[in-house]
Structure 1
Amino acid sequence: MPATRHLYLARHAQADPATGKLTDTGHRQAELLGARLREFAPQALWHGGLPRATQTAHLIADHLEGVTPVELAEAGDYAPHLPQRHEVPDAHADGVLDFLARIPAPERSPELGQRALELLTGPAKGSQERREVVITHAYLVAWLVTAALDSPPWRWVSVGVANAGLTIIRYTPRSPSSLVTLNDLDHLPPDLRWTGFPPHLRP
């Protein structure tokens, strides 16, 4: 019988746009996120392959006991769903489609998006509860949140995700998936919060 899966999602910590490597702020964010995740005692740590996600995951792993970071293609940086115009309400269609058109072709992968749903969501196999961490990028966090809420797939484009913010989704057998937290930044002091978030959306 399946068991409950707790999925701990985080966008990588702040990185230098020029190099892709973590900034000093990003290093501090990752360390503090690792300390926060330690309290959940996760059994797995997945991460995307780009330097900013890899660095974040390895800094987090230093705080976790018996967990080795594992690179996962499905945790990479890509557009997970490309809606057709008829999927998007007329009031939003132009804006959504214009946004998607600006994403380079190599960074569009609905196939990976579907595989991410199959691999990372739903109750855990077996009888033991699972606690899994995924260090990824804004688009995938948004995609998994959208799926957890059974929202129309195109709505992933409207979910904002901060650097090192913690999102928790709970998948329990025979119950709907539950979004426990989104962009939880309590582990960060005020001066480290909301990086990577559009200024006009910051609280």
Structure 2
Amino acid sequence: MPHYIYLVRHGEQQDAEHGMPDGPLSARGKRQARLLAERLGGVPFTGAWHSPLQRAAETAEIIADRLPSLTPEPSALLFDCFPSGKSVDTPSAYDPFFGAISDAEIDAGSAQMEDAVAEFLQSRPGDRHDLLITHNFVIAWFVREVLGAPDWRWVGINQGNCGLTVLQQRPGRPWTLVTHNDLGHLPFELRTGLPDNLIV
């Protein structure tokens, strides 16, 4: 039986444009989460986890309110982080981005994501549907991992707020990317969190 992982980026954060490290969802973020819950209504979830940060925890709470059989649990493996630093193959265009990240942040993020991959991408018996509510860079790392791309490639993989990414593993096969950043449940005015030229 297949194992599915549903990766969700949290809803839009209130005042995120002002550089707040964490905070509550905006009114638009709450609407995004409610619409995502409707989209996920028919999935027979077997487990759910969320980042402990407020924006992800509040997204999980809104989804759980609409899906009463779901009981999301906080997981430190889903915290927002920087999964890796630059490598010799990283294009120089990314120098300003990586130059603003400390070695300590990179070391912590790398260790976290190594543990997260070991925990959530392990083979599990039975038909499983697991929901992970987390952050842009964390989802990007999972996608990069499944595709076998070089470590630095996570930095160019973007997810919108309450975008849906689905991974699948069938017995004896590697993980597959089924869909990435699906925003079909959100009207255009609720599609936030992506660079402007990627919002479609």
The alignment's TM-score, normalised by the length of structure 2, stands at: 0.89
Q: 1:21 aligns with which of 6, 20, 24?
A: 24
1:70 has 2:73 as partner? yes
2 CA distance for matches of 1:76 and 1:105?
17
RMSD: 1.7
Shift of 1:82: 2.1
Residue 43 of structure 1 corresponds to: 46
Shift of 1:191: 1.5
Q: Which runs of 5+ in 1 are unaligned?
A: none
AA of the residue aligned to 2:195: P
1:6 has 2:16 as partner? no
Residue 143 of structure 1 corresponds to: 141
2 CA distance for matches of 1:20 and 1:103?
21
AA of the residue aligned to 2:142: L
2 CA distance for matches of 1:65 and 1:79?
33
2 CA distance for matches of 1:29 and 1:175?
33
1:57 has 2:54 as partner? no
Note closer, same or farther for the CA distance 1:107–1:35 as it changes in structure 2 (3 Å cut). farther
Residue 195 of structure 2 corresponds to: 198
SS of 1:62's partner is helix
Give aligned-pair identity as a percent.
35
Shift of 1:101: 2.3
1:172 has 2:170 as partner? yes
| 1:82-120 CA-partner distances (Å, limit 9, x unpaired) | 243x2x15xx1x223431222356643100010111011
AA of the residue aligned to 1:171: Q
Give the paired residue count. 193
Contact 1:74 1:115 survives alignment (8 Å): yes
